[in-house]
Amino acid sequence: MVSGQYSDTIVGAFAEKVYDEEIGFHLSGDARDVEIGLIANWVEGHFGELNNLIFTSLSGYSPVEFNLEEQSIMRELYLSEYNRKAERQVLRGIDGSNGQNEFQVIREGDSMIQKSNKNITAKNYHAAYRASQERVKELVHSYNLYGAIPNQVAGKDAPISGSNGEIGGYYS
């Protein structure tokens, strides 16, 4: 496990898993620890967004109900944001706002060096972002449709009078 305020927490373990399975540029060392720390802090800071989408109240570095379903939605939210930022970074390179002089092709004699086309790279990041956003919508829809416990039960679905009146008792 990595060091920091998030070590030995649910969010820290989740961030480590996301980094290792989805990004994983560095296999070990300080660079990996820094990236995992950034992911853990991003996740902790975006629980409000997740809570708004799935009607929960997760918070902190060790939320109680941060189960696999919630983690899959948070993973897609993170990947969506990751792709959106990567797309913006590529677009900054295209328009020259990053301050670097860029070349497409350099030729000398029989030799040629060609850089990747940033327009295509930006389009690929945008497509990945859109696919990730669509996946978030699907996950949230499924979670809210199948995984969420209703706040109110009335009619024939209501618990029998005299039994445990709490909704949690209804599902026990």
The DSSP H or E segment spanning 21 is none
> Which of the four pLDDT bands, split at 50, 70 and 90, describes residue 160?
low
Q: What's the pLDDT score for residue 16?
A: 92
| 20 in a structural domain | no
95-135 pLDDT, tens digit per residue, is 666 555 565 677 778 877 766 677 888 899 999 999 999 99
Q: In total, how many domains does the chain have?
A: 1
12 belongs to a structural domain = no
Mean pLDDT over residues 139-158, rounded? 73
Strand partners, 111: 108
Cβ atoms of residues 40 and 12 within 8 Å: yes
pLDDT, tens digit (0-9, with 9 covering 90-100), for 7-58: 689 999 999 999 999 987 777 788 888 999 999 999 999 999 999 999 999 9
- Quick check: is 88 in a domain? yes
Whether 169 is in a domain gets the answer: no
Give 79's Cβ-side CA count (13 Å radius).
24
Kindly state whether residue 150 falls inside one of the protein's structural domains: yes
DSSP 117: P
Question: Model-level pTM?
Answer: 0.72
Q: Which residues form the domain of 70?
A: 46-160
Give yes or no for a contact between 16 and 32, defined as CB atoms under 8 angstroms apart.
no
* Distance in angstroms (rounded) separating the CA atoms of residues 22 and 81: 13
Q: What is the pLDDT of residue 54?
A: 94
CA 4 to chain CA centroid, Å, is: 20
Residue 170 is assigned to a structural domain of this protein = no
Q: How far apart are CA 59 and CA 40, in angstroms?
A: 12
Whether 41 is covered by a domain: the verdict is no
Task: Tell me if 35 is assigned to some domain.
Answer: no
Question: What is the tens place of the pLDDT at every residue in 57-97?
Answer: 999 999 988 999 999 999 999 999 999 999 998 888 776 66
What is the largest distance, in Å, between two alpha-carbon atoms of the chain? 91
β-bridge mates for residue 108, sequence order = 111
Give the mean pLDDT of 144-165: 63
